[in-house]
Structure 1
Amino acid sequence: MKFVLALILTFFASAAHADEPPAYIGSAQCATCHAPEAEAWKGSDHGLAWTLPSDQTVVADFDGTTFSGNGTAVQFSKDDAGYHAKVTEMDGSVKDYNVHSVIGIRPLQQFLFETAPGKLQSFDVVWDVDKKEWYHLYPDSVLPPRDGLHWTGPYKNWNARCAECHATGFEKNYDPKTRSYQSTQAEIGVGCEACHGPGSAHRDWAADRKPITLPGLDAYGFTMPTRGGAEKWVQQCAGCHSRREAFGDGNPLPGTPYHDAYRLSLLTPELYHSDGQILQEDYEYGSFLQSKMYAKGVSCVNCHDPHEAKLKAEGNAVCVQCHSPAGNPEFPSLPLKEFDNAAHHFHKEGSAGAECKNCHMVEQTYMVTDERADHSFRIPRPDLSAQTGAPDACTTCHKDQNPEWAAKQIEAWYPDSTHRGPHFGTTFAQARRNPQGALASLLALAKDQDQADLVRATALYLMQSAADEETADQTSVLLADDSPLVRASAVRLQRAAQPPVRVQNLIGLTSDPVALVRMAAAQELIAPGAILPPKMAAALRGAFDEWRRSLGNRLDFPETHLVLGGMALVMRNYQAGLAGFREAVTLDPQRVEAWSMIVRLEQALNGDEAARQAVGQALQANPGTPELLSMQIELQGGSGMPPAP
């Protein structure tokens, strides 16, 4: 299917570029002066995040090994030309692939195949480094090749979904007209410049040691200030170590403030338990923002060596750097006492229960074999499990017991604890069941400055489905909150306000200093109507253009075209709306919500026969789907359907 090309090309016209940043020079040049750091880095998970296949980088066995399961059969081989996989799909199709490149080194190793020129896909059959065997990443799934979640589908596309965090200086360069990629990167793998920024100006500094005075660079020539402070470095790490939506076409320049480059995922039911514990992979940042450690100024590099990408010490030793009678002068609020003993953890020394992380950083296993620790550093609260439905640390190990037993045990150990008070998790659990009934509690959480900003923003998000004019009014004060996360979430609630009030409350935020907030405001002011003074109108156009460019960088995402289709309907451009939904199902035929809109729009624009053809196409891609079957019955019976919005 073709785009309405004139609309697309106009809508996503390129913006003028700012002054060119320094050039990337490659980690090899950095190593000439920074040999110890380079030596630590080259064998790290960062250095091996994406590599070309060779005897040094491939740990999987390609010597005639096979895998069969999940509707897929694979034969792996190696010869002088490289590494290969012969893949037989469940529909009987057979294709030979060359291994283009390698992802990671431990505890599993994945491989990329080039399925079209420039288009890389991550294969779902991967190598378990410890067990030394092939396995399928999704053992419970059997997907045909046309399914969007199949390894050849849009959600496993390396260029769009993964490369920016496995490469340095990456640019996706997707062409929506041809649905093709011409991606580039300065260096595959997470090189020195992925964190510090392009190195050419720093190389100039090294020649004469004269401070650099160019805009956007520190005195040493870096876009990410060498002495940037804890918060800047946390945000730099978070660019990849978070669940988020990127605004740009590839890597933002290191040093770019997080909320100018990404929309962070909130504590939604799809990603987190109601008390904020990790459910799906969150890549640490969303957890860490909830922690008291983050609130006190702890950063990633307090615990992790940034070049080796390993903990600075093994086991409990990494924690007692600070949590000990000696403490750490950087964090004066720490209690100076012994924690690494049985008087604190009540477990046998040297046992799993004596390890700090097993109580305070419970691990979840993803990708079958990859254990990830929850970085919210929480105090175990089994007393809340009955209300929140969330797991607790104690019964993660003591599987023969229940949370009630664990709660009694902890109360016996700590009868005077101050850590058993109210928790946002009980309110979030109620809100997930009954948003209307939880509105007052959610509002209180959103206004509670003692809560983490991510928690406050999530409280506002959970209010959306039950919001009314009073809700919009009560939360309008948060449009001026110090936190961009809170401001952006409060913007969405203004949807419930009367249009003149909404415009009055939001128009100033189109000039907010943070891109996340400006774009959120633009989205809520998209509907035509208000006549604004020239200065305000210009600010709105600027924010809208910024959001437009952000969407233009994600035209290879099916979900982007759902947004574009919905936006076109708001603007009463029904043909453009239809084009948007059509492109969504071209990229992912399983987007039933897009098919439903296509059927309704075809009926409204082109009549019942066009709608019947559309629902037939939808059912061919999604056989047996109740919603689509119901629409088909309505069309066959001639009773008609409710009109499209």
Structure 2
Amino acid sequence: MNYDRENDFFNSEWADAGTGCEACHGPGSNHVKAASEYFDYEKETIVNPARLPWRLRAMVCGQCHSRGVSTAAVSPYREGFPERYGYASGFVPGKALYLFYVDKPGEKQTGPLQYNEWKESGHAKAGIMCTDCHSVHRVSASEVMGAGETVQTSQTKLIADNLCMDCHKTLKRRGVHRIHTFGSCIACHMPRVKGDKHSHTFAFISPAETVKAGGLDKQQNSCNNCHHHKDTPPENLVEFLNAVKMADMPKPYTVHGK
């Protein structure tokens, strides 16, 4: 298992490259048997996530795209090892993930946390889930668009802001939306909070949260993640945003403390 006790980390090496079919569709032995012996019954012996209720469909993604611990205890247990598995032990697509896997306290700011964050988002409350934005079997959005662009690991159905504007067709030009003639939906509402992992709360992360946390090393924010504001002190950005809210626009040079 290659468990590093001091760092509480498994340096595992997997023989199976990528995510296999059964991870999303459940055990396939009965499906193969039905297709070869009984015919016409194969669809009843496999899970099609697209036909699951949307919350259960999201849980299929959440078994991997989240951080937590299993509800089942490690068995057989060995002294010095974690008491719980770091994955959803026993989970089968179509079942409720929370029966097998629960959030681990203190795991904020580490990835993959897409499912953990999504559960807190307005998208989750509205029933907008993973496969509304992401293609599971396609390689990238560029393939869908036929644009011949570089392959994207995000596997979104549309490229960048085209995806957001496909639903959010109207935008009220007020506050920061009024003053930004550059940037994008994703840059502000899905900033990279840890490495190359985009936040999936879809909420604007204010520089005020950075100030409150004690610096950018403790809490990233939407504004400083932009190259235009990357060197601007978060305190200055807070003042600027407050001025925007009051419709009292300062001159650009005051934002950068010059």
TM-score range, shorter chain: 0.5 to 0.7
Quote the Cα distance in structure 2 between the aligned partners of 1:148 and 1:388: 27
Native 8 Å contact 1:196 1:226 kept in 2? no
In structure 2, relative to structure 1, the CA distance for the partners of 1:223 and 1:340 (3 Å cut) is farther
Quote the Cα distance in structure 2 between the aligned partners of 1:383 and 1:308: 39
> Greater strand share, 1 or 2?
1
Quote the Cα distance in structure 2 between the aligned partners of 1:264 and 1:230: 20
Match of 1:196 in 2: 25
**TM-score when normalising by structure 1:** 0.29
Match of 2:143 in 1: none
In structure 2, relative to structure 1, the CA distance for the partners of 1:345 and 1:256 (3 Å cut) is farther
Match of 2:171 in 1: 338
After TM superposition, the structure 1 = structure 2 runs for residues 169-568 of structure 1, keeping only pairs within 5 Å, are 188-203=17-32, 204=34, 208-210=39-41, 220-223=44-47, 226-247=50-71, 250=89, 252-266=91-105, 268=106, 271-272=107-108, 279-308=109-138, 310-324=155-169, 337-338=170-171, 344=177, 346-349=179-182, 354-366=183-195, 371-389=196-214, 390-397=219-226, 398-415=229-246
In structure 2, relative to structure 1, the CA distance for the partners of 1:412 and 1:236 (3 Å cut) is same
Quote the Cα distance in structure 1 between the aligned partners of 2:241 and 2:5: 48
Q: 1:434-492, CA deviations, whole angstroms, 9 ceiling, x for partnerless residues?
A: xxxxxxxxxxxxxxxxxxxxxxxxxxxxxxxxxxxxxxxxxxxxxxxxxxxxxxxxxxx
C-alpha deviation, 1:339, in angstroms: 6.6
Match of 1:156 in 2: 10
CA root-mean-square deviation: 3.4
C-alpha deviation, 1:374, in angstroms: 0.9
In structure 2, relative to structure 1, the CA distance for the partners of 1:261 and 1:223 (3 Å cut) is farther
Match for 2:168: what amino acid? Answer: H
SS of 1:236 mapped into structure 2: helix
In structure 2, relative to structure 1, the CA distance for the partners of 1:252 and 1:188 (3 Å cut) is farther
Quote the Cα distance in structure 2 between the aligned partners of 1:295 and 1:400: 35
Identify unmatched segments of 5+ residues in structure 2. 75-88, 140-154, 248-258
Match for 2:239: what amino acid? Answer: K
Q: 1:151-204, CA deviations, whole angstroms, 9 ceiling, x for partnerless residues?
A: xxx723317xxx5xxx8xxxxxxxxxxxxxxxxxxx553122210112233342
Match of 1:573 in 2: none
In structure 2, relative to structure 1, the CA distance for the partners of 1:322 and 1:225 (3 Å cut) is closer
Bigger relative contact order, structure 1 or 2 (CA pairs below 8 A, ≥6 apart): 2
C-alpha deviation, 1:384, in angstroms: 4.3
C-alpha deviation, 1:380, in angstroms: 3.3
Q: 1:131-151, CA deviations, whole angstroms, 9 ceiling, x for partnerless residues?
A: xxxxxxxxxxxxxxx9844xx
In structure 2, relative to structure 1, the CA distance for the partners of 1:341 and 1:313 (3 Å cut) is farther
Range with bigger deviation, 192-201 or 233-242: 192-201
C-alpha deviation, 1:315, in angstroms: 1.5
Quote the Cα distance in structure 2 between the aligned partners of 1:202 and 1:226: 17
Match for 1:380: what amino acid? Answer: I
Identify unmatched segments of 5+ residues in structure 1. 1-118, 123-145, 168-186, 213-218, 273-278, 325-336, 417-645
In structure 2, relative to structure 1, the CA distance for the partners of 1:342 and 1:253 (3 Å cut) is same
SS of 2:165 mapped into structure 1: coil
Quote the Cα distance in structure 2 between the aligned partners of 1:234 and 1:197: 15
Quote the Cα distance in structure 2 between the aligned partners of 1:364 and 1:286: 14
Match for 1:323: what amino acid? Answer: H
Q: 1:186-244, CA deviations, whole angstroms, 9 ceiling, x for partnerless residues?
A: x553122210112233342686324x7xxxxxx62224655102111111111111111
In structure 2, relative to structure 1, the CA distance for the partners of 1:158 and 1:380 (3 Å cut) is closer
Percent identity (aligned): 25
Native 8 Å contact 1:205 1:221 kept in 2? no
In structure 2, relative to structure 1, the CA distance for the partners of 1:355 and 1:226 (3 Å cut) is closer
Native 8 Å contact 1:316 1:340 kept in 2? no
Match for 1:407: what amino acid? Answer: V
Q: 1:556-614, CA deviations, whole angstroms, 9 ceiling, x for partnerless residues?
A: xxxxxxxxxxxxxxxxxxxxxxxxxxxxxxxxxxxxxxxxxxxxxxxxxxxxxxxxxxx
Quote the Cα distance in structure 2 between the aligned partners of 1:374 and 1:190: 22
Match for 1:293: what amino acid? Answer: H
C-alpha deviation, 1:259, in angstroms: 1.2
Query: Of the two, which has the highest radius of gyration?
Result: 1
Q: 1:492-517, CA deviations, whole angstroms, 9 ceiling, x for partnerless residues?
A: xxxxxxxxxxxxxxxxxxxxxxxxxx
SS of 2:186 mapped into structure 1: helix
The count of aligned residue pairs is 209
Quote the Cα distance in structure 2 between the aligned partners of 1:263 and 1:356: 30
Quote the Cα distance in structure 1 between the aligned partners of 2:173 and 2:168: 8
C-alpha deviation, 1:305, in angstroms: 0.3
SS of 2:113 mapped into structure 1: coil
Quote the Cα distance in structure 2 between the aligned partners of 1:345 and 1:226: 38
